[in-house]
Structure 1
C-alpha cells in the first residue's frame, strides 16, 4: 500500500487549516491581516501559526523580493512587522500530465513553484504501458530531489492529471476518450509502484485548482478556466470552491450540444462544441475545405492569417460556437472572470473577435460584464496543476494525504 506522507503538517483544527491556506495563497501576510480575513482572533491565529513555524513550514523572517529588498508590512500605527510566509522548500511535490502522445512531469515546492521539468513521448497509450512510463518518469523526478547543489524538501505525494471523466475520490479514470481508457484505477496502480500517495484529477479541474490557489483566482470571488486545444474543457470556481459535481463531472463545456448535429464527437455523441471548436476540429475543417490534407495546425493558422477564405471560415465558425458556449456557462453560473487558456490559445486571435461578438449576443444582462481573458498555458502548467491538487489535499488533510 502507498505510504502516508512522512512530513505531516501540525494542523489539529479547521482554524489551523484556514490560517495556513491564507499564508500559502496570500502570503507574505501579517498575522493581523489573517485575523481580519478569517474572522479569527489574533490569539487564535498565533496559536495556529506557532507549531507551523516550529516545524519549519512557515516563517516570519522578512521575505525578500527579486532585487533582495525585504518585504515588510505596516500596522495601522506605522510599526513595521514581519509578515508570515510559507517556506517553499519545506516539502516537494511531483505533478504529471498525461496526453495521448506525451507525458509531462514537474517537481514543485510548497508554493507550486516549478523546480524541475521532464518530457517523454508516448508510443503506446494503453493503461499498462502508460502507468509503467509514469512510474519511470516519477522515479526520475524523485532523483532530482536529492541534488545536493539544489536541495528540496521531502516528497509528500504525486498528482496525475488526465482528460475526461475522473473519479478523484477513488483515483479512477472512468472515461477518457482521448486516451481510450475506461475504469482505470490509476491512483491504486501507480501508488503501488511508487509507494507514495497519488491523487488523480481531471486535467482542467487541476489547472483550475492551481489558478485558485496560486494564480488569477487568488483574489477572485468566482472564475472559470476554459481550455481550448485538442478538446474544450472548463473548470469552475464558485462559492469558495472548485466545483467537482455530485458525480465527479462538471463544467463539460466541450460537450454542450451547440454545434451541427451531423458532426460526431470523440465522445461518440453528436453536435458537441468540440466538433467545431477544438484545434483538431479546426484543422480538419481547413484541410477538408482547402483540399490540403498535408496541412498542420501551424500551417492552417498561417493560411488564415494570410486571409484564405476557407481557413477564416473555420476559425469564425469556431469563434461563434465558443462564444455561444461561454455565454451559456456565464448565464448559468455568473463567474466574475473567464480565463481562456490553452497551449496555443495566444495564436488563436483569429477567432477572438467573433468569439467575443457571439458572447455579447448571448450573454444575458449583467452577465455580459464578465471579463474574458486570453492566457497561453504550456503542458508544464498542466503538470503544475496536478501538483497543486496534491498541495491542496495535503493542507486540508484529505485522503490519501490525511494526517
Structure 2
C-alpha cells in the first residue's frame, strides 16, 4: 500500500502517496483516532467542533487525531469562508473516500455477488457469477476468484484495497470467521475466513448477511441520524438486523435478530431449520409461492405469475400474501416491544411486492405494538443483490476501522 494514491474531494486521484502505514487489513487504530475517523466516515463533511461534541473527546484530542489522519491521506478539511460567525472559517472534515478501498461479497445458494467500494461503501465495480456448488471448498474457490476479478477491474487502484467482507445467511461467529450453521447452504462449523484466506492473501471478515446490511445502514444510511432501528429483510428467508443504542447487535454467539424463526406461524408447517411454525413458513417468498402453487395445483407457477394473480384479485393468491403480512406485522411488533426502535426498514428483493402485504403488516403491527413502541416509522425499501454485497463491504470497512483485520495482515 505504500504506493497508494490519495484521493481528491471529487473522488479522483492526485498522485500524492498515502502514508506507508496503510497496509492490508490495517488503518490507524489509536482509540481517539479510530473514534474520530468513524465519526467523519458516518457524518462528514462535519466541523471538528461537532466531532468533539459527538464523541466527547477534547478539542485537543480531536485536533491531534485529525492531524494524523490528514497526514495519512485519509481525511481532508474544506475551507468554508462563509462561516456562521466572524473570525476563523469553519473547516468541515471529510474522508478521502478513495484513499483506501474494500471488497464486499455475498454468497447465495446458487450465485455470488461482489463489489469493490470506497471507504464510504460507494460501489466502484460489481460482479455477479453463478455458484455451481455449495461445498465449502468450492465456495471459497469461487469467492477468491471473484476477489481476483474485482481487483483486475480496479486496475492500479487495486493496490488500495485493504480487505474483503464475505457474508452468508445463518449463524456466523465473526470473531473466529466460522459459519456455525447455515441451513440454506447446508453448512455447520465451516471456517470460511480461513478457507478464503488460504486462497487469497487479502484479509477477510466474515459476517451474517443481514447484520452486514445493518452495518451499511448504521454507517451510511438510516442509522446515521437515529439511535435505534431495525431492518426486516424478506426473500427466500426472513432476516432481521438490530441497531440498538448506537451499535449493531451481534449476540454473544453470532445469533441475533432471527425473527424468521420466531414460532408465530401455524404449528403444522415445517421450516427449513427443522422446526415447526417459524415465521419463514408463512412469510418468506418461497413459502408464499408454495402456498399459491398448492392452491392453484400448479407446481410450475412462477412468483411473477403469482403476483399478477394477486394484483388481479385472485382470492387464494391475495390470501397467501396477506397471511404473510399479518405474521410479519406480528413479528415486527414483537421486535418493537422488545427494543423500541425509532424506525423499521422493510427491505429485500421481495419488497417490490409490498403493496400485496403492506396493509396487513401495518394492521398487525398496530394491533400488537405496546404503547409508544408503536410510534416507530415503518419504511419499505427494495434492495438489489448489489446492495447486499455493499453491506458486506461495509462490514469489512467497520472491521478495518476498528482494527479487527489487522491480525490477518
TM-score, normalized by length of structure 1?
A: 0.93
Any idea what the Cα deviations from partners look like across 1:316-367, whole Å, max 9, x if unmatched?
A: 1101100000001110111111101001303221000000000000001111
| Distance in structure 2 (CA, Å) of the matches to 1:395 and 1:303 | 48
Which residue of the partner structure matches residue 125 of structure 2?
116
Any idea what the Cα deviations from partners look like across 1:246-274, whole Å, max 9, x if unmatched?
A: 22111000000000011000111100000
- Alpha-carbon deviation of 1:9? 2.6
Which residue of the partner structure matches residue 91 of structure 2?
82
| Distance in structure 1 (CA, Å) of the matches to 2:333 and 2:270 | 23
Comparing 392-401 with 36-45, which one deviates more in the overlay?
Answer: 392-401
Which residue of the partner structure matches residue 106 of structure 1?
115
3-state SS of 1:145 partner: helix
Please say if residues 5 and 155 of structure 1, whose CA atoms lie closer than 8 Å, have aligned partners that are also in contact: no
Any idea what the Cα deviations from partners look like across 1:284-320, whole Å, max 9, x if unmatched?
A: 0000011122211111111100000000110111011
**1:44 and 2:61 aligned:** yes
| Distance in structure 2 (CA, Å) of the matches to 1:73 and 1:395 | 32
- Alpha-carbon deviation of 1:43? 1.7
| Distance in structure 1 (CA, Å) of the matches to 2:125 and 2:73 | 23
Any idea what the Cα deviations from partners look like across 1:360-403, whole Å, max 9, x if unmatched?
A: 00001111111111011111111111111111111111245589
- Alpha-carbon deviation of 1:123? 2.3
| Distance in structure 1 (CA, Å) of the matches to 2:382 and 2:236 | 14
| Distance in structure 2 (CA, Å) of the matches to 1:154 and 1:376 | 31
- Alpha-carbon deviation of 1:39? 2.1
Equivalent of 2:74, from 54, 57, 64?
A: 57
**Number of residue pairs aligned between Structure 1 and Structure 2:** 388
Which residue of the partner structure matches residue 10 of structure 1?
28
Any idea what the Cα deviations from partners look like across 1:46-98, whole Å, max 9, x if unmatched?
A: 11110110110111145xxxxxxxx7773444754231100011111110000
Please say if residues 323 and 356 of structure 1, whose CA atoms lie closer than 8 Å, have aligned partners that are also in contact: yes
Mapping 1:3-402, distance limit 5 Å: 5-6=23-24, 8-12=26-30, 14-61=31-78, 74-77=83-86, 80-147=89-156, 151=157, 154-400=160-406
| Distance in structure 2 (CA, Å) of the matches to 1:123 and 1:21 | 38
Please say if residues 233 and 252 of structure 1, whose CA atoms lie closer than 8 Å, have aligned partners that are also in contact: yes
| Distance in structure 2 (CA, Å) of the matches to 1:396 and 1:152 | 22
3-state SS of 1:85 partner: strand
Which residue of the partner structure matches residue 67 of structure 1?
none
| Distance in structure 2 (CA, Å) of the matches to 1:155 and 1:128 | 24
User: Cα distance 1:400–1:268, how it changes in 2: closer, same or farther (>3 A)?
Assistant: farther
TM-score, normalized by length of structure 2?
A: 0.91
| Distance in structure 2 (CA, Å) of the matches to 1:363 and 1:394 | 38
| Distance in structure 2 (CA, Å) of the matches to 1:260 and 1:344 | 22
- Alpha-carbon deviation of 1:152? 5.6
Please say if residues 112 and 387 of structure 1, whose CA atoms lie closer than 8 Å, have aligned partners that are also in contact: yes
- Alpha-carbon deviation of 1:107? 0.2
| Distance in structure 2 (CA, Å) of the matches to 1:27 and 1:280 | 41
User: Cα distance 1:223–1:153, how it changes in 2: closer, same or farther (>3 A)?
Assistant: farther
| Distance in structure 1 (CA, Å) of the matches to 2:407 and 2:73 | 19
Unaligned runs of 5+ in 2: 1-21
Unaligned runs of 5+ in 1: 63-70
